[in-house]
Structure 1
Amino acid sequence: MSAQPTIKDSRPTSRVMIETRQLAMEFSGFRAVDAVDLQVMEGSIHALIGPNGAGKTTCFNLITKFLTPTAGQIFFDGHEITRLDPADIARRGLVRSFQISAVFPGLSAVQNVCVALQSRTRRIFQFWKSDRSLADLEAEADAILEQVGLVEFRNVNAALLPYGRKRALELATTLALAPRVLLLDEPMAGMSAADVERVSQLIMRIRKGRTILMVEHNLPVVAALCDRITVLARGRVLAEGDYSAVSSNPEVQEAYIGSDHD
């Protein structure tokens, strides 16, 4: 686990935005997540990492409510959300961005963001109507595209965007939902080195006023971006702290020896 962390613009506070208490998930007798206690502080970038089979993806799916836990509790900003569905928690400001880009390939970048803005305001997007129906949202959409460096691509169909730009567009549509907490599922997956650098800088730009929890396998990215890291192994918390602390932990080093990172 060797990497050179860079200086981060850290603004975590003492307020807990996401908390799990004894969180567990069992599949046919196998405990994929086992009594996980986690706290994600407001304003922080917090990573879940671990070798293959560590349980981090299952844990992420529990927090984002795509799975219902076998046991334990989940809290968002002090309120229990254990039994809520994904739409309910999204309305509260807990929004997930998926590993695989989820944009409309036949729509332009600005149209994709407008659709997301409509979703936030609960307006119905009707594909057969004129683009004029989206005109009143375009100013806000353009401001979001500027945040993610896509203004020059506003009229380009999503299908024609390079992979890294398409992932930036996905982040733009996520930002259109006005998240208080942004959950990123392997944001660097499949990217070239240049795209990794570009998206890393983008995440640092959009963190202002937000809390970010990410599952990420790219350890240099985790070192550069994250204020706090939780290492999972066999469904349990193995270590937690900043990159320097977890990377020097003998148990963490042993867990990663000879392991691929998912």
Structure 2
Amino acid sequence: MSEPCVLETRNLVKEFKGFVAVDDVNLKIQKGHIHALIGPNGAGKTTVFNLLTKFLTPTRGHILFKGQDITAMKSAAIARKGVVRSFQISAVFPHMTALENIRIALQSFEGTSFSFWKSGASLNRLNERCLELLDAVGLAEYANTTTVELAYGRKRALELATTLAMEPQLLLLDEPTQGMGAEDVDRVVELVRKAAQGRTVLMVEHNLSVVSKLCDRITVLAQGAVLTEGDYDTVSADPQVREVYMGRDGSGERGAASAPNKTEAAQ
């Protein structure tokens, strides 16, 4: 690899009462890359994300960020280091405006979330940065719109803006296009591409059309273990990957793997 490794896992294992959900996973995420983690339902993708961001504790193995072992660190400490994630379900405050949502994220990043003695007017100094972030995701005109009134795709864009407010070095996106129509998917693809400028992205994504457009490298998980890894052309042509997506009986009922350039359900 020509670029340095931003995130690395070494023999990562997660067991739940004897069930091995993540089995000896070794990842190397290159600086500046958009790297996808894909696989069929139950492959362990979201569990890996939860291990990386310490929502779960590994049974065995190590996680390194920029060469430092962060395995024992808590979620908040990892976020302060610049590892920030989104979630499958939009995680914004529905009864606040788009601008207020961004402002809360900025307060959290600055460590001023609990300064109750300060006047609300003191938060106005953050508004300029809020508007910059909203503009970056195409939501500047919705700054004063209550979030519950936003269309689903715009809510996901707002969530992306709140993660960017944390100034991530490594951005982890969990199913950024889940539940979206084609128009919203295309919009989010462009937003992710823009967000990736100057930073590294690791994403779980079920839509292989999105993966093919965005990702420099892809890791395929099956039954908690790494099945294969490479660029999109290499991965989509791998017979093992086709077998995983088509089913072991070869019936093709989930046969999107026979046309990997189309939308596929990989989660």
- TM exceeds 0.5? yes
Deviation at 1:123, TM superposition (A): 0.5
SS in 2 for 1:53: coil
d(CA) in 2 for partners of 1:129 and 1:24? Answer: 45
Distance 1:113 1:13, change over 3 A: farther
d(CA) in 1 for partners of 2:87 and 2:44? Answer: 17
Deviation at 1:133, TM superposition (A): 3.0
1:103 pairs with 2:108: no
Structure 2 unmatched ranges of 5 or more: 248-253, 255-264
Q: Is the 8 A contact 1:18 1:76 kept in 2?
A: yes
Q: Is the 8 A contact 1:45 1:214 kept in 2?
A: yes
Distance 1:126 1:104, change over 3 A: farther
For 2:188, the aligned partner's letter is V
Aligned pairs for 1:104-253 within 5 A: 104-124=93-113, 131-253=120-242
C-alpha deviations, 1:103-130, integer Å up to 9, x for none?
A: 1111111111111101010002578986
SS in 1 for 2:145: coil
Bigger Cα displacement from structure 2, 177-186 vs 252-261: 252-261
SS in 1 for 2:123: helix
C-alpha deviations, 1:237-257, integer Å up to 9, x for none?
A: 100000000000011111110
Distance 1:49 1:224, change over 3 A: same
d(CA) in 2 for partners of 1:126 and 1:104? Answer: 19
1:80 pairs with 2:85: no
Deviation at 1:202, TM superposition (A): 0.5
Bigger Cα displacement from structure 2, 179-188 vs 122-131: 122-131
Output the TM-score relative to the length of structure 2: 0.90
Distance 1:59 1:140, change over 3 A: same
For 1:122, the aligned partner's letter is G
SS in 2 for 1:98: coil
SS in 2 for 1:20: strand
d(CA) in 1 for partners of 2:113 and 2:212? Answer: 41
Which structure is richer in relative contact order (CA contacts within 8 A, separation 6 or more)? 1
For 2:150, the aligned partner's letter is L
Q: Equivalent residue for 1:254?
A: 243
Q: Is the 8 A contact 1:13 1:42 kept in 2?
A: no
Q: Equivalent residue for 2:259?
A: none
The number of aligned residues is 251
SS in 2 for 1:118: helix
Deviation at 1:261, TM superposition (A): 2.4
Distance 1:215 1:227, change over 3 A: same
d(CA) in 2 for partners of 1:111 and 1:127? Answer: 16
d(CA) in 2 for partners of 1:115 and 1:148? Answer: 17
Deviation at 1:134, TM superposition (A): 1.8
d(CA) in 1 for partners of 2:48 and 2:111? Answer: 29
d(CA) in 2 for partners of 1:137 and 1:70? Answer: 41
Q: Equivalent residue for 2:56?
A: 67
